[in-house]
């Protein structure tokens, strides 16, 4: 007999949803405390090979964001997914629109990395201006908007040639990597909720900013080194240092305008302190990026 279905789940109103169907694979999430550094380093090499496979075998796209079905609000959108290395898009029922991780719903395609950052910052500014949690920080709206209009288009890191968006998992934490056997082998990677096509550095930026300290530093370095050996540029070696620094600051700026984790557990004085902390950080980043060489 099949598993029962909760009655509440059957009667609640349904919204249009996308589903990711995956084969159930054996394995348990990596628990760092259960493995020595040598084994973790071996798993890091395996993970890098999985990421290399994505980079080499999933065609990059001309638009950035998450996959959507061409129905409901996207039904009139032109198919724009490249399914093979020939560039064929006809017959595709998918488009790339918006960013689930940021809560950005957009009917317009994002074709450049500059536009990718602009759309995300504008969305954060809207949250800053409408969510009362962030009321003490609304003085940031003017400086951030000025940065978007005047400084963002001039940043050298956004002028690195033709923009291409690559398949990105967007949460390669140990908890999302399944292993099995002895010695352990990666049997699956899960939690593709926020995956999509994003700038080539985004996978690493998320590791450094949102998922910082999820991996041991030495183990993560092994991961980056293996990617370099496989021909995937990383901040360890092949990515230009200034290019990395600017993108790192841009990502920090996006995340700090109206942080998703606030108010969370912070209330009263603690919330005020957190808001003040991110306000100072935003102003520091604006001063830093606004004063950088842009040519």
The tens digit of pLDDT for each residue in 101-160 reads 888 887 788 999 999 999 999 999 999 999 999 999 999 999 999 999 999 999 988 875
- Helices and strands: H and E segment counts in the chain: 8, 7
Predicted local confidence at residue 99, as pLDDT = 86
Q: Which residues of 274-293 are buried (b: 16+ CB within 10 A; e: fewer)?
A: bbeebbebbeebbeebbebe
Q: Which residues contact 284 (CB under 8 A, 6 or more apart)?
A: none
Per residue in 107-116, pLDDT tens?
788 999 999 9
- Is 3.30.470.10 the CATH number for 30-58+112-290? no
* Neighbouring C-beta atoms of residue 167, cutoff 10 Å: 19
Going by C-alpha positions, the residue among 112, 83, 113 that lies closest to residue 95 is: 83
Residues with Cβ < 8 Å from 133, sequence gap 6 or more? 262, 263, 271
Residue ranges covered by each domain of the chain:
30-58+112-290
Number of C-beta neighbours around residue 98 at 10 A: 24
pLDDT at 260: 93
pLDDT less than 70: residues of the chain: 1-18, 20, 74-76, 79, 84-91, 160-163, 291-295
CA distance 272 to 137: 10
CB atoms closer than 10 angstroms to residue 39: 16
Q: What is the pLDDT of residue 8?
A: 44
Q: Which of 226, 237, 238 is nearest to 41 (CA)?
A: 226
């Amino acid at each position: 007999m099949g598993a029962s279905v909760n009655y509440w789940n059957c009667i609640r109103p349904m919204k249009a949803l996308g589903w990711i169907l995956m084969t159930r694979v054996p394995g348990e999430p990596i628990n760092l405390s259960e493995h020595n550094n040598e084994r973790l380093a071996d798993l890091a090499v395996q993970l890098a090979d999985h990421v290399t496979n994505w980079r080499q075998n999933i065609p990059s796209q001309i638009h950035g964001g998450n996959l959507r079905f061409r129905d409901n609000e996207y039904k009139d959108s032109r198919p724009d997914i490249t399914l093979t290395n020939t560039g064929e898009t006809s017959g595709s029922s998918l488009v790339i629109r918006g960013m689930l991780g940021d809560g950005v719903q957009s009917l317009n395609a994002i074709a450049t990395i500059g536009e990718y950052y602009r759309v995300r910052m504008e969305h954060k500014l809207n949250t800053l201006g409408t969510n009362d949690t962030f009321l003490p920080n609304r003085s940031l709206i003017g400086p951030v908007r000025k940065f978007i209009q005047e400084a963002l288009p001039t940043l050298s890191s956004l002028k690195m040639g033709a923009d291409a968006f690559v398949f990105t998992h967007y949460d390669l934490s140990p908890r999302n990597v399944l292993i099995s056997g002895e010695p352990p082998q990666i049997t699956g990677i899960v939690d593709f909720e926020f995956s999509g096509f994003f700038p080539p550095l985004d996978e690493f930026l998320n590791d450094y900013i949102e998922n910082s300290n999820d991996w041991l530093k030495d183990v993560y370095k092994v991961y980056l080194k293996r990617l370099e050996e496989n021909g995937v540029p990383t901040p360890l070696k092949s990515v230009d240092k200034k290019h990395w620094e600017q993108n790192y600051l841009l990502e920090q700026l996006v995340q700090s305008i109206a942080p998703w984790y606030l108010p969370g557990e912070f209330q009263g004085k603690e919330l005020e302190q957190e808001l003040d902390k991110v306000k100072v950080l935003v102003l520091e980043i604006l001063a830093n990026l606004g004063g950088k060489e842009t040519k």
